[in-house]
A = this chain, B = another copy of it.
């Protein structure tokens, strides 16, 4: 049994989510045992509490100490986005494998620096695009790749939520323009990662970015209003390298929507429709059914869609969000042990960041931007 030591920087929701996921990942990685070695937070008490809660061996207020801890083989970065670059470069320099939450950087230049460092050091990297770890999305990708949908003719993707819909929602790091874009980076990156996962590279973007809530309180309840510079809604028309085109919306002021991350893909032989709101289901239509009845079929996640069977004994039980995170961590750990690439790494994060950057330029200059 091989032990892999994990260090987690950050104790916010994602820090805890990573801790849970690494613990649970053991069920998916026979012969490999991820061990929670250390957790770091500038708030030493928070680090101590998290260590206690999840049975992490050590805790520290010094993220560098965590990185250089000899028992730590993998560093999970869940700190605020603006620290990602610094933390990642330090970890890479120390020869550690790095998992970094998305978005990895405020722009593609920084993302490229991280990528270059990781490639040079030969460490494994992964980025937290957890939604594509869904077994049904792997099925979708396989169906597309195998030609079951025929030639793809169109894509519609969306990631809409409403957590920024209220004008009383105050200014925060998400709205800091030095951190990059708004909804297009925060949510758009998820649907862009999904689009690329399913259909491959995007070669051109025409975008319209819009700031719906023009001013927000400086802080919660404050009468002082701050002008917002980043987008609340981004509407992208895109061209894929494979020939088809599509539309993508990112929207964090979509009142009522909690997780409207989804897509519809049409092909000459069939189509797929999906929403993260019911992510254990995939809608499939086939024109090629030899005289049978026609109509969308609801494919339900089950043991035939690995690694669903590692979680539940039969279809209908359903995976939850944390299971996607667990798959993500299990695959990363396996990629380290097997020395291959498991999924969205720093290269992929950079590609997505380039699309986000292109959307910003396209919207400003009102023209198509080639990637």
Q: Interface segment, A94-102, A191-199, A273-281, A341-349?
A: A273-281
A314 adjacent to chain B (CB < 8 Å): yes
Contacts of A251 in B (CB 8 A): 154, 266
Task: Return the chain B residue nearest A258 by Cβ.
Answer: B316
Q: Interface segment, A83-91, A159-167, A221-229, A332-340?
A: A159-167
Cα separation A279 to B31 with both chains bound (whole Å): 34
The answer on a CB contact under 8 Å between B318 and A279 is yes
The answer on a CB contact under 8 Å between A208 and B210 is no
Contacts of A16 in B (CB 8 A): 27
Contacts of A167 in B (CB 8 A): 268
What sequence of 0s and 1s flags, for each residue 11-49 of chain A, a beta carbon within 8 Å of any chain B beta carbon?
001001001100110110011010000000000000001
Q: Interface segment, A51-59, A65-73, A74-82, A353-361?
A: A51-59
Instruction: Point out the residue from B161, B300, B313, B322 that lies within 8 Å of A311, measured CB to CB.
Output: B322
A237 adjacent to chain B (CB < 8 Å): yes
Protomer copies: 4
The answer on a CB contact under 8 Å between A271 and B259 is no
A219 adjacent to chain B (CB < 8 Å): no
Cα separation A161 to B317 with both chains bound (whole Å): 11
Q: Interface segment, A105-113, A116-124, A172-180, A287-295?
A: A287-295
Cα separation A113 to B317 with both chains bound (whole Å): 32
Contacts of A206 in B (CB 8 A): 206, 208, 366
Contacts of A317 in B (CB 8 A): 259, 320-321
**26 A-B contacts, Cβ less than 8 Å apart?**
A13-B313, A16-B27, A19-B27, A26-B54, A30-B49, A149-B255, A154-B251, A154-B254, A156-B158, A167-B268, A208-B237, A247-B247, A251-B266, A255-B268, A255-B271, A256-B271, A256-B285, A256-B287, A256-B296, A258-B316, A259-B316, A294-B299, A312-B322, A317-B321, A322-B323, A366-B367
Across the A-B interface, give the 8 residue pairs with the lowest CB-CB distance, nearest first: A320-B320, A259-B316, A258-B316, A256-B285, A317-B321, A258-B315, A13-B313, A256-B271
